[in-house]
Amino acid sequence: MTLLLDGVRAATGLIVSGDSEIWSILWLSLQVSGSATLIALLLGVPAGTALALARFPGRGLVVSAVNSGMGLPPVVVGLFVTILLWRSGPLGALEILYTPAAIVVAQAVIAAPIVTGITLAAVQQVPREFRLQLLALGASRVQMIWVVLREARLPMLAAVMAGFGGVISEIGASMMVGGNIKGQTRTLTTAMVLETSKGNFEAAIALSLLLLVLVFLVNWALTSIQQRRAL
């Protein structure tokens, strides 16, 4: 117990004193996971919308695949992104393995199905009849989709929260494709694993506190938007 309390006290000291390494790790994590979430939104919102509105043979299979993808194990993603980006791999020429860009790619792969799945559900809960009424008011297909997405904006904020929450706390893929290189690809989670394995609990606790606060702040901000608009 004293170990934990001492650890928290020391960690608070580290954070408050503005330990530059801790803050740069935090900043990198934010940038990487933020970019990955953004890419996932750019891919997942159109994909989820299309899946929600289109009817084609095999649609059930694709929806099941997306839903399974929402639980994609990060280590599996890490493995395949590593192979993809390996020097002799298909995208080896990009030479981005063990850079933050590689982590962004892996995390976007993890977050995209989450965003797609939640968008699909959000758009589907807008009644079919509502879409028909928009068309009957003279909406083109694009205008109709725009209004439907606008209607689904509150549940879709959940897509942002789930996507970001999923990748900021993910470790397997970041470790495998980033390599946990000090000052370059060390994120909150990979640093935490390292510090814990070294027995350096103060630093690990400091990092975990930052991660918790970060996740909380992002969700708090999005939730407050969601709840205000819901009233």
Partner 1 sequence: MALPVLALANVRVGYGGADVLDVPSLEIAEGEVLAVIGPNGSGKSTLLRVAGLLERPTTGRVSFGGCLVDATHALAERRRMAMVFQQPLLADMTVAENVGLGLAFRGVGADPSEARVSRWLERLNIAPLRDRRARTLSGGEAQRVALARALVVEPDLLLLDEPFAGLDAPSREALLPDLAAILRGDRLTTILVSHDRAEAQALADRVAVLIRGRISQLDETARVFYAPVSEEVARFVGVETIVTGRVLARDGGVTVVEVAGRKLEIAARGRPGDLVRLGIRPEDVTLTLPTEHAPLSSARNHLTGTIRHLVPSAPATRVVVDVGFPLVATVTARSAADLGLAEGLPITAVFKASAAHLIGPAGSAGGSPAGLLDTMTAPEL
Query: Where on the chain is the footprint of partner 1 (CB under 8 A)?
Result: 127, 129-130, 132-140, 143, 147, 150-151
Output 152 or 204, the one with its CB closest to partner 1: 152
CB of 127 to partner 1, least distance (A): 6
CB of 42 to partner 1, least distance (A): 24
Cα–Cα distance list, 141 to 15, 99, 106, 154 (Å): 52, 41, 33, 22
Output 83 or 147, the one with its CB closest to partner 1: 147
Output 64 or 133, the one with its CB closest to partner 1: 133
CB of 157 to partner 1, least distance (A): 14
Output 24 or 133, the one with its CB closest to partner 1: 133
| Distance between CA atoms of residues 8 and 225, nearest Å | 32
CB of 210 to partner 1, least distance (A): 37
Read off the amino acid at residue 154: L
